[in-house]
Amino acid sequence: MRSFVDIPAGSDFPLENLPYGVFIPAGSHRPRPGTAIGDWVVDLGALEEAGLLPTQVFGGPTLNAFMAAGRPVWTRVRGHLQTLLAADNTSLRDDESLRSRAFHHRSHVRLVLPVDIGDYTDFYSSREHATNVGSMFRDPDNALLPNWLHLPVGYHGRASSVVVSGTEVRRPMGQTQNGDAPPTFGPSRLLDFELELGFFTGPGNALGEPIPVEQAADHIFGFVLVNDWSARDIQKWEYVPLGPFLAKNFATSISPWIVTMDALEPFRCAGPVQDPEPLPYLRSQGPQAFDIHLEVGIQPEGAGEDDVVCRSNFRYMYWNVCQQLAHHTVTGCNVRPGDLMASGTISGPDKGSYGSMLELTWRGQHPLRLSDGSERKFLADGDTVVMRGRAEKDGLRIGFGEVSGRILPAR
C-alpha cells in the first residue's frame, strides 16, 4: 500500500498500521484523537468535522466513544482512513487547508493517555514465566500451581495508576520482611519491570451475560505495550493470602498508540499446545496467537542509549486473549469500553527471553552487566526502562513504538 505521506523506511507506522492514540498539539491544551502514519499524527476529529469520516465519535478527549462503537465501525473507519491517505486519492492530499489543520508532526505534539480506563486486570499467562517463578519460590519439579493449566490466572489491578509512556515512576515505599525478623518500612530495594502486552475492550457485555470465547475477538479493540512495574520485596511479604496489592499499584506504564486487531491479522499464528484440553467455554478455534517481537532495554542515568536485556515474543503466551476475556466474563462480570487487560509477564524458553529482572538475574544471583560497566540485580534510581514491539513479515512492519519510564528515588 502506498500513501501520499512520506513514510521513512523502517517506520513502525506504515499505511497498513494506522494505530489510534490521543495527542495535544503544540500551543493547545485540548486532547484530540488521532492516528499515526510515518512521522505524522492525523487529527481524526478534523477529518470527521470535514465530513471525511462516517462517524461522530472523535470529538472528545479519549477514544472511549470509538471503542464503544464496535468492530463494524472500527473496520469501516480503518478502510476510510487507508483510502483517504492513499497516494492516488486527492480529497485529502490536495486540500492544503484541511491538511494544515489535520496533520501534525510527531515532534510537535504531546501524546497522552488515550483511554479513560475504568478497570484494569492483569493476567499470568506465560507458562515459562510461571514455571520460572514457581521454580524459584516453590518446587522446581512441581513449579505450576494445580489450577494454572486449567484457567487463565489473573488479578484486578489499579486503573488510576496506569500512565502513558514517558511518565516518571517513583520508587515505592512499603513493608518488607526478611527471614524471621519483624517487618520494616522503607523504599523497595527490588524494583522490577515486567514485559507485557495489553488489550483494550470495546463494546463489552451486560452484567450477567458472559462473552463466549468465539465472540471475544469482536470485543477487543487493540493492543498496547505494558510495563507492569513490580516491587518484588513488597510483593513477597504481602502476597499471601490474597495476591498482588501495593507491589503493583504504584504504576503501570503503557505505550500511547493502540495497534488494532486488523493491523495484526497478517501475524496471527498458532500458540502453544494446551494440554490438558481446556474446558469447553475456553476452547478457542484456529490460531489465536500473534507473532510480535518484543524487547526491553535499560538505560542508566547519563547513558546515551539503552542496553537490550530481553528479547521475547507474544506468541509464547499459553492463554490467548480470547480465552482471557471469555474467562474474565464467564461469571457474568461486565467489561466496558476502555477496560485494560494485560497479559502478564511474557517470557520465552531461554534466559535471553525472560521478561523480568527477577528471572534474568534469577532473584539477583546472576547480575546483568551493562555496557557502561555497571551491574544490575534489580533496577536502580535513574534507570529508564524502554520496551519496544513490532511484527514483521514479507517486508511489512507493524510497530507499537515504545513505552518508557524513568525511575525516581523514593520520597
Residues 336, 268 within the same domain: yes
Whole-angstrom CA distances from 322 to 76, 142, 211, 279 are 22, 28, 9, 14
CATH of the domain at 84: 2.30.30.230
The sign one gets for the Cα dihedral 98, 101, 106, 110 is negative
33 and 87 housed in the same domain? yes
- Mean pLDDT, rounded, of the chain: 97
Contact assessment for residue 393 and residue 267, using Cβ atoms and an 8 Å cutoff: yes
What's the CA gap between 230 and 224, in Å, rounded?
A: 18
Identify the bridge partners of residue 376 per DSSP, sorted by sequence position: 368
User: Do 104 and 132 have their domain in common?
Assistant: no
Q: Residue 269: inside a domain, yes or no?
A: yes
Which among 29, 104, 108, 129 is annotated as catalytic? 129
Residue at a domain's end among 73, 92, 112: 112
Residue 2, domain member (yes or no): no
Between CA 17 and CA 243 the distance in angstroms is 37
* Residues 64-85, mean pLDDT to the nearest whole number: 98
Same-domain check for residues 107 and 237? no
> Reduced to 3 DSSP states, what percent helix, strand and coil does the chain have, rounded to the nearest 5?
25, 30, 45
User: Do residue 128 and residue 150 come from a single domain?
Assistant: yes
Last residue of a domain, one of 55, 90, 112: 112
Q: What are the cell numbers at 126?
A: 506465560
153, 188: one domain? yes
Domain, as residue range, for 150: 120-289+314-350
Share of the chain above pLDDT 70, in %: 100
**Whether 161 and 273 share a structural domain:** yes
Task: Taking residues 311-331, report their average pLDDT.
Answer: 98
Q: Are residues 136 and 284 in the same domain?
A: yes
Please check whether residue 408 lies inside any domain of the structure: no
* Residue 265 covered by a domain: yes
CA–CA gap between residue 383 and residue 407 (Å, rounded)? 6
283-299 pLDDT, tens digit each: 999 999 999 999 999 99
Residue 192 pLDDT: 98
Same domain, 57 and 124: no
**Is-contact 255 400, C-beta < 8 A?**
yes
- Give every CB contact of residue 409 below 8 A, 6+ residues apart in sequence: 170, 171, 187, 381
The CA angle 233-117-216, to the nearest 5 degrees, is 100
Query: Among candidates 171, 244, 110, which has minimal Cα distance to 406?
Result: 171
Cα-flanking dihedrals φ and ψ of residue 48, to 5°?
A: -65, -45
pLDDT at 132 over 90: yes
CB proximity list for 265: less than 8 A, separation 6 or greater = none
For the domain that residue 228 is a member of, what is the CATH number?
3.90.850.10
Q: Residue 1 has what pLDDT?
A: 83
pLDDT value at residue 388: 98
Q: How does 142-164 read in b/e, with b if 16+ C-beta sit within 10 Å?
A: ebbeeebeeebbbeebbbebbbb
Distance CA 164, CA 257 (A): 10
For residue range 83-123, what is the model confidence (pLDDT) as tens digits? Answer: 999 999 999 999 999 999 999 999 999 999 999 999 999 99
Q: pLDDT of 367-408, one tens digit each?
A: 999 999 999 999 999 999 999 999 999 999 999 999 999 999
191 and 229 in contact (C-beta within 8 Å)?
yes
Q: Which residues pair with 32 in a beta bridge?
A: 23
Q: Is residue 386 part of a domain?
A: no
Q: Answer yes or no: is 275 within a domain.
A: yes
**Could you say which of 334, 350, 366 is where a domain stops?**
350
Listed in sequence order, the residues at least 6 apart from 204 whose beta carbon sits closer than 8 Å to its beta carbon are: 68, 219, 334, 335, 336, 337, 339
Q: Is residue 331 part of a domain?
A: yes
**Under 8 Å between Cβ of 346 and 126:** yes
Residues 42, 139 within the same domain = no
State whether 62 and 158 are in the same domain.
no
Q: Report residue 142 as a C-alpha cell.
A: 512441581
Residue 325's CB is within 10 A of a number of other CB atoms, namely 28
Q: Are the C-beta atoms of 259 and 292 separated by less than 8 Å? A: no
Q: Across residues 195-201, what is the average pLDDT? A: 98
Give SS3 for 182. Answer: coil
Is 366 among the catalytic positions?
A: no
Whether 164 and 108 map to the same domain: the answer is no
Q: Count Cα neighbours of 163 within 13 Å in the Cβ-side half-sphere.
A: 17
Instruction: Check pLDDT > 90 for residue 264.
Output: yes
Rounded Cα distance, 203 and 325, in Å: 13
Whether residue 374 is contained in a domain is answered as: no
352-377 tens-digit pLDDT: 999 999 999 999 999 999 999 999 99
Instruction: Report how far residue 10's alpha carbon sits from residue 14's, in angstroms, rounded to the nearest whole number.
Output: 9
- What's the confidence (pLDDT) of residue 115? 98
Total of domains in the chain: 2
